[in-house]
Each structure stands twice: as structure tokens, then as C-alpha cells.
Amino acid sequence: MLLEFQLRDLLTMGNVTAALISAFTTLVVFFLTLISKNYVETRILSSKLETEHKFNQRKRIKEVLSKHKVHLLTSCEELNHRMWNYANNHHRDWLEINGDYLEKQNYYFHSFIYRFLSLFGWIRIINQEMIYLDTTIATKNDLEFIKFLRLFPRIFSDLTFIEGDEKKGKSADDHFYRNDFEVISEVLIKNEGIISYANYLEDLGALKEHHINIFKYFDGISSTEKRSRWDRLHLLHLTVILFLNNYGYDFQNTNDKKLRTVLTHPKTSSYLSNYFNFIAEYNLADNKKCKELRKIAKEFTR
């Protein structure tokens, strides 16, 4: 009988232990399931929010670029035409007006500056509208568009990219200080657009007072001078062409034959190699149109 009672107690204890183990296992599984569920749901929610953020940001970036793209392309096209005309008539010294900046009859000089400032005015407008957007997550095509917007002003505000790292400059003679250049075109911006050429002429007095440096920069600029003013203007022309070839209409494109002419007429810039190094800094070296231009340029930079 004693043995029977002992066996019965052991069986009872075993059942209790088994029940406790089962209950403990159930609780563990329950909490693990709850934790896992919360973790998965949190990750899903986080991924969803991140996806929505990227979608909304990319949508807004596209909206800004689309809103102003045609204006920017038009400015590039008009400056491109003027640069072609200037290259063909560089020997006529039409940009040499010897400080007579308030004379409205100096059409070639003032219309040149107007087209120049219009381009950077539209770039300024676009950049200002995107200042609170996360452009780092833009689509590849839009991101390259934005890189070009960053590239344009640096052509005139970066001293060393053209003239080499050893170049030291305490004064902005053939380039502009970056912060000054960022706002130099704001005089043309009004009501989220660019004023007309007629309004530009009406404001010549204010322009001369506040932006005398831009007039001095263009006054007498020549491909035969020892300064680097022409080189920067020439490299701007190449950048305008690259931009139009990437994003413009088919009639705005410049073919390989014309690219060879741009690269050599009236001369080949001695800073051409530096220019392509500069493009590489913006990770645009693999851009199809940039690669095509560099391939052609190699014919003249060996």
C-alpha cells in the first residue's frame, strides 16, 4: 500500500510539473509571438512610412522641376545661340564697351548679360523651391538634373577647379565669390519669374550700383586675353549644351560635328581637362552625354 501511495504521489507531481511546464511554454510562446508580431508590424510600418516619404519627396521634386523646366531650357537655348554668335564674331569686340554700362544702345553687351543672368535666375528659383526637400533620394534622372543645377554656378565661383589647386586668389578678378554669385541674379527675379529684357533696361541704374562686377566681368572679355574669363564662359557653354542634350527638345540638341566646333572655335580651352575632372566630382562622368563629349574632347587635349 505504501508503495502504491508513493507511486500515486509521483504521478500526481509529474502531472503538476507537466502542467506547469506546459503553461510556462504557452506563456513563453505567447510573449515571443507578441514581441515578434510587434517587431514585424513596427518594421512594416517603418518601411511603409519610409516608402511614402520617398514617394512624396520624389513627387514634389518632380513637380518643382517640371514647373520650371521649360523656362530653364528656354534660357539655356537662348544663351546657347548667343554663345554660338559670340564665337563666330569674337574678333569684332562687341563686348568691349569701356565702362559705358548705362548706355542702353549697347544691345549686344546688355542682351548677353540678360541671357546670362536669366539662366542663373531660373536656377536660383528652382533651388529656392527645393531647399526644404530631400533631394538626396530623387530618382537618378532627377538627381542628375539637380547636379547640373549645382554645377552651373560653380563654373564662375570656384577658383581652383579651372586654374588648379595651386591657384591662390585674394580677389575675385576672373571669378566670383560663391555667396555673391548665388544672389547676383536675384535682381531679375520677380513674382517667381524673370523680368523681361525691357524691365532689365529700365533697371540699369540699380544694376550698375549693385552688380558692377558682372558688368566689369563681361566688358572686353576675349578669347585672346591672358585672363581666364573667356575660359569660364566657354565651359559654361559646354555645360549648357550638355544640359540641353540631356533634357532638352530634339531641336535643342547639339550633334557631334557641332561639338567639335564648340571645342575648337575660336580656340580650345587649356582648362578642358580640369573641366572633366570637375564634372567627375559631381558623379556626372558616367552620364551618357558627358561621356560622349569627353570622348570627342580627347581629340583636342592630347
Q: What is the pLDDT along the chain (302 residues), one digit of tens a residue?
A: 555 555 455 456 556 566 666 666 776 666 667 676 666 666 665 667 678 888 899 999 999 999 999 999 999 999 999 999 999 999 999 999 999 998 889 999 999 999 999 999 999 999 999 999 999 999 999 999 999 999 999 999 987 777 766 666 555 678 888 888 888 888 899 988 999 999 999 988 877 777 888 999 999 999 999 999 999 999 999 999 999 999 999 999 999 999 999 999 999 999 999 999 999 999 999 999 999 999 999 998 76
Whole-prediction pTM: 0.84
pLDDT score of 173: 75
Burial of residue 208, with CB atoms counted within 10 A of its CB: 0-12 exposed, 13-18 middle, 19 or more buried:
middle
Helix/strand/coil for 159? coil
Task: Using alpha carbons, list the distances in angstroms from residue 73 to 10, 55, 229, 246.
Answer: 91, 26, 24, 11
CB 244 within 8 A of CB 254: yes
Task: Using alpha carbons, list the distances in angstroms from residue 284 to 49, 161, 298.
Answer: 31, 15, 17
276 backbone dihedrals φ, ψ, rounded to 5°: -70, -30
pLDDT score of 17: 66
pLDDT score of 41: 62
pLDDT score of 24: 67
Q: What's the rounded Cα separation, in Å, for the pair 241 and 293? A: 10
